[in-house]
Amino acid sequence: MNLSGIRQFVIATGFLIFGGVFSEGTAFPAGSPAAINGQLSVCGRKLCNVHGNPIQLRGMSTHGLQWYKSCVNNRSLKALAKNWKADVLRLSLYVQEGGYASNPKRFTRIVDRLIKKASRFGLYVIVDWHMLDPGDPFANLQLAKTFFTAIAKRHADRTNILYEVANEPNGDAVTWLRLKSYHQQIIPVIRKRDRDAVILLGTRAWSSFGVAAGADETEIVRNPVAAKNIMYTFHFYAASHGTEYLEVLSRAAKRIPVFVTEFGTQQAHGDGPNDFVLSNAYLALMKREKISWANWNYSDDHRSGAVFVPGTCPKGKFAGGGKLKEAGAWIRTQMRSKDRFSTK
C-alpha cells in the first residue's frame, strides 16, 4: 500500500499506524465532507477530491480567536456541520492585536484543539495566519515558520487541513515579487512535515489579486509560484467591491487556481448594509467555476458581518442554526443548497 493508500485507509477505518501496530484514531463521520472527499489536491485550476473530481467547499470563517474563541464550541460546530451543511471552517488566528504574537504557545494550543474539534464533525479546516497590520508578511516571518512547523508536525496525518499562509498582505512595499518570495519560504516549512495538504497563498492589496492597488490577476499569471497543490486567495465585500472585482475573479478563475477564503455581503470593514444582489452574482460565479469559499464571520460580534446576534456565544441556543442576523440567515440558506460536490 502506497502513502496515498495508507492515508485513505486512515480515513475509512479511523486507525493510525505506529511501529506497525494499529492504534485507534479519529475517523470522520460517515457522509461528512472530509469522509466523502478525502485528501484534497489541485488538479489544473480546480480543487479536487481524492477521486480527482472538482469540488466546491462552502463554509464559514471564525472571527479573531483571541476575541471570539467561545463561538467555536461543540454545539456551534455541530450546528455548522449538521444544520448549516457546511464543508469547511476557517480558523482565523490573528498575529497581532492580542493574537499569536502575544503568546505563541497558548495560541498554538488553541488552534490545535479547534482543529481536533472541527475534525470530529468531518469538516475541512483552513488554518489562517491572519496577518493584517503590519501588512508585510516578512514582519512576522520567523513567527510564521514557528507556527506552521508546529501545526504541520501535529496534524500531518490529517487529510482535512488546508493552510492559508498570509491573510491580507497590503502596503505599497508589498509587491507581488516580495509576496512571492515570502510564499517560497513558507511552503517548504509546511511541506517538510505535510507533503499533501493544499496551501493557500495570499495575494497583494488585501488578497484582491492586486485590484485594490490598481493591478489585476495578470501579475500572478505571468509569474506564478512554482509549487504543487497551491491556490491563490481572493477576498471581497459585496457592498464595497463591485463589478471590477467580480470581473477580475471571473477572469482569474479561468487562468489560476482560486479559493475565496473570505467574503462578506457588507462593506470591507465587515459592517454596514448588505448588498445581497451583488453577493448573489458572486455566488453564482463561484458555483459555476467551482470556487470554494468561506464567509466572514461565525461569531456574535455587533457588526452586521457576524452571523449571530450579540450574546449568542458561548451558551446560546444553536438549534435550528442559531439566532441569526440578516446576513447570517442569508448565508446559511446559500450554504444549504445542493450540488456542492460529487460523491464519487
Coil, helix or strand for 33? helix
Catalytic residue among 24, 97, 168, 244: 168
Cell of 16: 493510525
168 is catalytic: yes
Dihedral over Cα of 191, 120, 122, 316: its sign:
negative
Phi and psi at 274, nearest 5°, equal -90, 140
Asked if 165 and 184 touch (Cβ cutoff 8 Å), the reply is no
Coil, helix or strand for 105? helix
Asked if 265 and 28 touch (Cβ cutoff 8 Å), the reply is no
Asked if 104 and 141 touch (Cβ cutoff 8 Å), the reply is no
What burial letters (b/e) apply to 210-225, b meaning 16+ CB within 10 Å?
bbbbebbbebbeeeeb
Nearest to 253 by CA among 292, 199, 211: 292
Coil, helix or strand for 161? strand
* Maximal C-alpha separation, the chain: 58
Cβ-based neighbour number of residue 322 at 10 Å: 25
Residue with cell 494499529: 22
Dihedral, CA of residue 194, residue 199, residue 204 and residue 209, to nearest 10: 160
Name, in order, each residue with C-beta under 8 angstroms of 153's C-beta and a sequence gap of 6 or more. 193
217 is catalytic: no
Catalytic residue among 24, 219, 262, 326: 262
Nearest to 174 by CA among 206, 216, 129: 206
What positions carry a catalytic annotation?
Answer: 168, 262
